[in-house]
């Protein structure tokens, strides 16, 4: 290499290093003390509060998972829904193995799950993340076999009665099948899954 080219290359490199990093970085900050003051319903079930607004910011999925983990530890709360939601945020962030480990903590006993199909949903979700199409298809078929109760509806806080699709979460697993091979966040989204209510 010519000795007169080397100084030019060094100058170009130094100039590039001196340029400010203009890549978009979302604001994933939050008031931890305020979050830890919330009870479980306000932290986890308020669709407009708790961890959810942070979780909706593109690029804040890992920060949201860490927030849920911090809240669980601080409260010593081992509710399976918290493990599930932390796992979802980790799956969104591409932390597949951590997500699978958390999802496995949510299995219910056979008696507790006889009329809902949660365990089949967990099986199918893990199968999707592990890229095991046969296991996903088998979970979908098992979930379809869960008998529908006579009253399959819920009432919203405003009094509106919503009839749910049966079985719960079948729309998600079928979305995983429809969008096979896509990232979890995309396959879980509305372009792949049918609405939960009818």
Three-class SS of the chain: CCCCHHHHHHHHHHHHHHCCCCCCCCCCCCCHHHHHCCCHHHHHHCCCCCCHHHHCCCCCHHHHHHHHHHHHHHHCCCCHHHHHHHHHHHHHCCCHHHHHHHHHCCCCCCCCCCCCCHHHHHHHHHHHHCCCHHHHHHHHHHHHCCCCCCCCEEECCCCCEEEECCCCCHHHHHHHHHCCCCCHHHHCCCCCCCCCEC
Q: Is the pLDDT of residue 56 over 90?
A: yes
Least confident of 7-11, 19-23, 33-37: 7-11
The CA distance from 153 to 96, in Å, is 33
| pLDDT for residue 158 | 77
The CA distance from 113 to 146, in Å, is 10
Average pLDDT for the chain: 88
Where in the chain are the domains?
Answer: 29-107, 117-198
Q: Is the pLDDT of residue 198 over 70?
A: no
**Other beta carbons less than 10 A from residue 184's beta carbon:** 21
Quick one: pLDDT band at residue 10, thresholds 50, 70, 90?
A: low
The CA distance from 8 to 71, in Å, is 53
> Which residue is it, tokens 């003390």?
33
Q: What is the mean pLDDT of residues 74-89?
A: 97
| pLDDT for residue 4 | 55
Summarised one tens digit per residue, pLDDT across range 94-136 is 999 999 999 999 999 999 998 889 999 999 999 999 999 999 9
């Amino acid at each position: 290499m010519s000795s007169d080219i080397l100084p030019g290359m060094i100058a170009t490199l130094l100039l590039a290093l001196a340029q400010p990093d203009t890549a978009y970085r979302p604001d994933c900050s939050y008031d931890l003390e305020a979050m830890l003051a919330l009870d479980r319903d306000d932290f986890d079930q308020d669709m407009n509060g708790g961890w959810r607004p942070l979780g909706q910011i593109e690029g804040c999925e890992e920060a949201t998972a860490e927030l849920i983990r911090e809240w669980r530890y601080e409260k010593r709360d081992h509710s399976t829904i918290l493990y599930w939601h932390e796992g979802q945020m980790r799956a969104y962030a591409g932390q597949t193995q951590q997500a699978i480990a958390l999802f496995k903590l949510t299995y219910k006993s056979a008696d507790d799950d006889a009329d809902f199909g949660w365990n089949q949903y967990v099986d199918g979700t893990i199968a999707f993340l592990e890229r095991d199409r046969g296991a996903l298809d088998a979970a979908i078929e098992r979930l379809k076999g869960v008998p529908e109760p006579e009253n399959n509806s819920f009432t919203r806080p405003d009094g509106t009665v919503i009839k749910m699709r049966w079985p719960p979460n079948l729309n998600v697993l079928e979305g995983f099948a429809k969008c096979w091979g896509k990232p979890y966040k995309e396959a879980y989204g509305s372009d792949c899954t049918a609405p939960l209510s009818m």
